A and B are shown apart, each in its own frame.
Chain A
Amino acid sequence: MSRVGELLAYAHQMELEAQERYGMLADQMQVHNNPELEKLFRDLARIEGLHAADIAKEMKDRKIPDLTALDFEWPDAESPEAVDFGDVHYQMVPWQALQLALRAEQKAQAFFEHFVATTGDAEARRFAEEFAGEEEEHVALVLKELRKYPAPSDTPADDLDPPVGQD
């Protein structure tokens, strides 16, 4: 990947996948009656959706490769900004949710920074710098949010309706 069209296709896909995952996490929290985290994830999904829409505008008059979700070749197995559902728990608190978001945003920033460092295409670099800057803003936003919440103790919160004990 080096040219503008490819970069925009990757950036757009990354934002769409992040939006999808945050949206699904919000749904999970809604179903499990955790309105505080539902709002947090909905807000994150909305922000990613706005980014996806902005990138879609840039894509409009350009030649964009026709890629399906499985065609993208990410540095790891999945899109950098996609939260791993396996790291989620029904008893999670805002601090933990924000840690997940922080990791995702940092990986997205690193993805674009790597692109900036390796592309030979000046226009693509300009876009990638802009995207990296936006991800950096997201990182700062999540860090600001994190200051509102203390880190939880290692002991999980009391569960009023626990699953059958396995100990």
Chain B
Amino acid sequence: MASPEPPRFKPADYKSATKPVWCPGCGDFHVLMSVTRALAELNVAPEQVAVISGIGCSSRIPAYTSCYGFHGVHGRSLALGAGLKVARPDLTVLVMSGDGDGFSIGGNHFLHACRRNIDMTYIVMDNRVYGMTKGQPSPTTEPDWDSALSPGGTGLRPFHPLVIALASGANFVARAFSGLPNETAAIMVEAVRHPGFSFVEILSPCVTFRPDEHDWKGLVHAAPVAATDDPARAARRIMTDDGFNLGVLYRGDRRPYEAPASSAIVDVEALDREFEL
């Protein structure tokens, strides 16, 4: 007798009933759509996926999926994701963050997550502003962005996450634009399938505090050259592009981190007893 066909999941299977509270027009709505499409394309059961986040508008995303989720501590989503993936390598781990959570508060974790090259996918919704706290400049904000909270701009050189990721050892680096949900989903699929630490920066406009980011739709374009496996070449390209090149920019072949075979297997009930009062 033929074995039954495995279930074919649809994007809607990965959505929860919780309604997002993002501002209408926020790019993160499209990112949520891309995540559900990517997971449907991967056809991985919702209970086999963990969506881990930190703090910020973008970090609300686990609640909007039907996957397992962990809305964690500010900047610490990668630490949570890494621990989970090492303990449960069978799960698909998506760590989702924003530019403030990921590159400022969680900047140090970002470096070391790239270096460790644990097999998980890090998706950062970069809107170049702290939206949840009402519009402060973030690590990726342009130095001359003039606002009531940063008159004349910060004058600071923006953090360059893709180059930092390359320099730190990320095994897959890509840039996407939220307004192109199908393209973004396809990049997510590739990122998840690629072994090791995959980093996807998604330009996701904050239409409330950065209405100028409406212009991104007309600025983004496909990267003119194919992805390289040479990190130095990829870094040079990214450093000299206009910041709106989309697509997979680097595919490495570093071997992902493997937990030592001697990893302790803990009896949860025994652990519980240790903490009994």
Give residues in A with beta carbon < 8 Å to B: 20, 24-25, 27-32, 68-70, 77-78, 84-90, 92, 163-167
Chain B interface, DSSP helix/strand/loop, else mixed:
loop
Give residues in B with beta carbon < 8 Å to A: 11-12, 19-27, 29-30, 33, 37, 40-41, 134-135, 147-149, 178-183, 185-186, 189, 205, 207-209, 214, 217
Shortest beta-carbon distance from A69 to chain B in Å: 5
Sorted nearest first, the 9 A-B pairs with minimum C-beta distance are A88-B24, A27-B19, A164-B134, A166-B147, A28-B24, A88-B25, A85-B29, A90-B24, A69-B37
When C-beta atoms are compared, the residue in chain A nearest to B32 turns out to be A24
Contacts of A25 in B (CB 8 A): 24
Report whether A29 and B182 are in contact in the complex, using a CB–CB cutoff of 8 Å: no
The docked-state distance in angstroms from the alpha carbon of A60 to that of B18 is 32
When C-beta atoms are compared, the residue in chain B nearest to A68 turns out to be B41
Chain A interface, DSSP helix/strand/loop, else mixed:
loop
Shortest beta-carbon distance from B42 to chain A in Å: 10
Contacts of A28 in B (CB 8 A): 19-20, 22, 24, 29
When C-beta atoms are compared, the residue in chain A nearest to B211 turns out to be A166
Report whether A77 and B20 are in contact in the complex, using a CB–CB cutoff of 8 Å: no
Report whether A90 and B181 are in contact in the complex, using a CB–CB cutoff of 8 Å: no
When C-beta atoms are compared, the residue in chain A nearest to B217 turns out to be A86
Contacts of B29 in A (CB 8 A): 24, 28, 85
| Contact A70/B24 with A24-B29, A85-B30 known, Cβ cut-off 8 Å | no
The docked-state distance in angstroms from the alpha carbon of A37 to that of B24 is 12
When C-beta atoms are compared, the residue in chain B nearest to A21 turns out to be B33
Shortest beta-carbon distance from B152 to chain A in Å: 13
Report whether B205 and A86 are in contact in the complex, using a CB–CB cutoff of 8 Å: yes
The docked-state distance in angstroms from the alpha carbon of A27 to that of B179 is 19
A20-B33, A89-B24 provided; 20 other pairs, C-beta below 8 A?
Answer: A27-B19, A28-B20, A29-B24, A30-B19, A69-B11, A69-B182, A70-B182, A70-B186, A78-B182, A85-B26, A85-B29, A86-B27, A86-B178, A86-B205, A86-B214, A88-B24, A89-B207, A90-B25, A163-B135, A164-B149
